[in-house]
Structure 1
Amino acid sequence: MNDARTAPPTAALPLPAAARSTRRPDLSLGRALCAMVTPFTPAGALDPDGAQRLAEHLVAGGCEGLVLSGTTGESPTTTDAEKTTLVRAVREAVGDRASIVAGVGTADTRHTVELALAAEKAGADGLLVVAPYYSRPPQEAVEAHFREIADASGLPLVLYDIPGRTGTRIEPETMIRLAEHPRITAVKDCSYDLLGTQKVLAATELAYYAGCDEQVVALRALGASGYVGTAANVAPRPFRTLLDLFDAGDGDGAALLQRRLLPLVEQMTAAGLPGAVTAKALLTDLGLPGGPLRPPLRPAGREAADALRAAYGRAIDGTP
């Protein structure tokens, strides 16, 4: 007889809260965010009108937030004034239909604070702050860097963990300590450290965003809030659909779509060219604002451009 007297001792024990649900509450920044390119004119100047048209297109395609002046936004080559102008232009275009997260991270804490305050004044809803690069500070200094920025601004901070570019990891233990700060609320995860990601998700209420397009469904299943996507520049609707399918309980459908998008993701982010290069190549083909790249980045060559077009056709249109 299978009753309470013969059941295993652990059967009646309630699951811990963390085990009952892997979902994290969605923040006001949204779930589906695009790491938007920065459009330039043919002469190489900032193109605010183009940025507004692209932002409108992305929001119409399902993006709930736009991340400006990040890696894909060529932030190392834009001036402080251009970054502020970009935030103002996009805010004017999208109004309150999408959140705006401004990339303000630099290798200089003082400069980052200045950019954070300027972005807040220009109308940003949040700040994307990368780990200080080049100087490779120890974790104690990394933590102090983020705390100083969070103390200076009233906006929520998204920690941007991308050690492959910065040379400096935001270690999981550092994130767990930083999560105690009321304005450090989220992470853009490009660490490729699934164990570390799960440790932080288990120990904090930080909202995690997949920063690597191939991990959107996997991290959502583990409790991430969504993604900040590069390929979303050219495929906003399919990436939004990944989350919608998963959240509607169709995990198999979400996984199938993720696999269908994989060749496009590979060509855009893992085939040897930066995402800004590949995104702008496809945006040009699609007749959308993007424009040239700023050196040292150069346009995709013919072979790479052809591979991008083919991958896009297969992923979006189903063409062979």
Structure 2
Amino acid sequence: MPFPTPLRGVVPPVITPLTPAGEVDTASLRRLAEHLIGAGVHGLFLLGSSGEAAYLTDAQRLTALETAVAASAGRVPVLAGVIDTTTARVLDRAADAVRAGADALVATAPFYTRTHPVEIADHFRRVRAGAGLPLLAYDIPVAVHTKLPRDVVLDLAADGTLAGLKDSSGDEGSLRRLLVDPRRHTPGFSVLTGSELTVDCALLAGVDGVVPGLGNVDPHGYVRLHEAARAGDWATAKAEQDRLAALFALTEAADPALMGGSSAALGAFKAAAHLLGLIDCAATAAPQVPLGEADVARVRARLADAGLL
């Protein structure tokens, strides 16, 4: 489908269901995609952090992307994460995304190597020119150790390199400064927040949409929040955000002494999706630590409290 510019609404970063043997569970992914589209989401973002892209082989990434594109069947745009360390490797992943039929790409700055803002800008320009698809920048310094400079993002928007920004920086002040910058209003440029917990505030401030990992668990809630905000019903938006903030506590179900934050959060999202019947197996990719029975019981309790069971 034609990629909407600007992209607005709820675009969940889709989890990648796995079999007990660690392969992509295509049947579960199709079922999950159908559920998300049925809930009214405005796009699907494959192979992001919530999609465990960093843990998957190139072949697994391609399988997941092809499955989602087929399941979407043109009803909503499919954004493909092409996250890798260098420009050449990102271009390889972008070529896969083009072959799979993705509608747009999402890329971070290069990482492992330390890059200058001039090099970061050149990276995005090369990816955009090489792939020929709309490109969104993914600002996630906790993972790539580079905070995308505001001037670089806005210059790349102005010259047509970037169709949008997914802000997962955790720096709400920086996001607000970008939103009020007069250069932010480049036609067709989208700003999406990756924060599950401050969507109502971000929409009020002027973001175009949200990319919530928790949207895998409760897409209807985020769609209701977005619709209330667009209608100017901020009391309803706040109430929905408060409910979702309480539900987000499921990411704290695991003992931090036994596993890292990635294992806890992704494990909780997958456990919740499994309990809801959306995926067949809650396995996460190695070497992440799986949730225990007590952890899953706490996830179930959060789902019940949110009225999802």
Q: 2:44 maps to which residue?
A: 66
* Equivalent of residue 165 in structure 2, options 187, 192, 201: 187
> Rg larger in 1 or in 2?
1
Residues 95-154 of structure 1: CA deviation (Å, up to 9, x unaligned): 111110000011111010111122022110111112222223222222221111111122
Kept after mapping to 1: 8 A contact 2:253/2:295: no
Paired residues of 1:105 and 1:130 also in contact (CA < 8 A): yes
In 1, Cα distance between equivalents of 2:166 and 2:74: 22
> Given the alignment, which residue of 286, 289, 302 partners 2:293?
302
The answer for the alignment partner of 1:16 in structure 2 is none
Picking from 257, 270, 287, the partner of 2:277 is 287
5+ residue gaps in structure 2? Answer: none
TM-fit CA distance, 1:174:
1.7
Determine if contact 1:38/1:290 at 8 Å carries over to the other structure.
no
Structure 1 residues 177-216: aligned runs within 5 Å: 177-201=155-179, 202=181, 203-204=183-184, 205=186, 206-216=189-199
1:140 aligns with 2:140: no
> Is contact 2:136-2:162 (8 Å) kept?
yes
CA distance in 1 between counterparts of 2:206 and 2:252 reads: 24
- Residue type at the aligned position of 2:279: P
- Which of 129, 133, 149 is residue 155 of structure 1 equivalent to? 133
- Given that 2:253 and 2:296 are in contact with CA atoms closer than 8 Å, whether structure 1 keeps it comes out as no
Letter matched to residue 147 of structure 1: R
| Equivalent AA in structure 2 for residue 284 of structure 1 | H
1:231 aligns with 2:214: yes
Match of 1:42 among 20, 23, 29: 20
Residues 23 and 60 in structure 2, CA contact (< 8 A), matched pair in contact too: no
The C-alpha deviation readout for 1:61-105, integer Å capped at 9, x for no partner, is 122211111101111121222222222211111211111000001
Aligned: 1:250 with 2:233: yes
- Contact in 2 for aligned 1:29/1:99 (Cα 8 Å): no
| Runs of at least 5 residues in structure 1 that lack an aligned partner in the other structure | 1-25
Give the drift of 1:304: 3.0
Cα RMSD over matched residues? Answer: 2.0
Matched residue count: 293
Checking the alignment, whether the CA contact within 8 Å between 1:101 and 1:126 is kept in structure 2 is yes
- Residue aligned with 1:67, SS: strand
- Rate the CA distance shift 1:186–1:28 in 2: closer, same or farther, 3 A: closer
Deviations 1:158-182 (CA, angstroms, capped at 9, x unpaired): 1110111211111212212221231
Deviations 1:9-30 (A, max 9, x none): xxxxxxxxxxxxxxxxx73644
Deviations 1:263-300 (A, max 9, x none): 22233279753232211111111122163111121222
The TM-score normalised by the length of structure 1 is 0.86
